[in-house]
Amino acid sequence: MNSLLFLRTLGKNKIIIAVGALLLFSYWGLDYFYAEERIVPQAFKEARDRSISLTADIVALVSTSSNQLEEVAREDEQSNTESALALIADTLLLNRNAQERATLLARDLEVMAQNLNGISPVHAQRVATAAMSAQVLLVSHLITYNDYSNQLLETLRSKLFGGGVGNVKELALKINNEIEAVNALNAQFTQVTLQFEGYLR
């Protein structure tokens, strides 16, 4: 009786294992059999390559800009007006450069979106969408960062010329939040980009 029960149990386990294997195959196996169908439109590839470079540039410019903001604050505290004003001008230029790259990135993202449906397999298409979403959010936070950064710089410049102080601490806190968001989204974008490249190997 026990032997019969064991055989029945073993039979059920085999069925469960077989069903589980079938489910795994249906989820992962199709990509294996259709590996030759891994397709990325040329227009998407070219726009994606440019977007990766532009994203790296934006993150680097934001990092440099934020460091210079700290220097401006230090020069202001030490009443080094001339040095602080020079740093403000440099930082405003950095912000403009970052904004210009964001505009170019937006154009490339539009090209990528137009060619997204041409990517195969579907898993790769989904990962590409996730990467693009991270880039779109990064651009959004960059725009907000630039706005707060420029407000702070103008406030400090006004202060150096004897104008009102403004809410420097509140702006500095908002700027730090945007920097953290940009860095987090860049890390997310980098991770998803590596995942996308893995699908194409």
User: What are the beta bridge partners of residue 120?
Assistant: 39
Of 16-25, 87-96, 182-191, least confident by mean pLDDT is 16-25
**Above 50 in pLDDT, residue 5?**
no
Q: Would you state the pLDDT for residue 187?
A: 95
Nearest to 149 by CA among 73, 51, 75: 73
Higher pLDDT pick, 64 / 74 = 64
pTM score of the predicted model? 0.77
How wide is the angle at C-alpha 66 spanned by C-alphas 60 and 72, nearest 5°? 135
Q: For residue 41, is the peptide bond before it cis, meaning its omega torsion is within 30 degrees of 0? A: no
Span 106-157, pLDDT tens digits: 999 999 999 999 998 888 999 999 999 999 999 999 999 999 999 988 888 8
**Above 80 in pLDDT, residue 103?**
yes
* Domain range annotation of the chain: 1-33, 40-199
Span 41-57, pLDDT tens digits: 999 999 999 999 999 99
CATH architecture of structural domain 40-199: Up-down Bundle (1.20)
- Give the count of beta carbons closer than 10 Å to the beta carbon of residue 61: 22
Tokens encoding 128: 């590409």
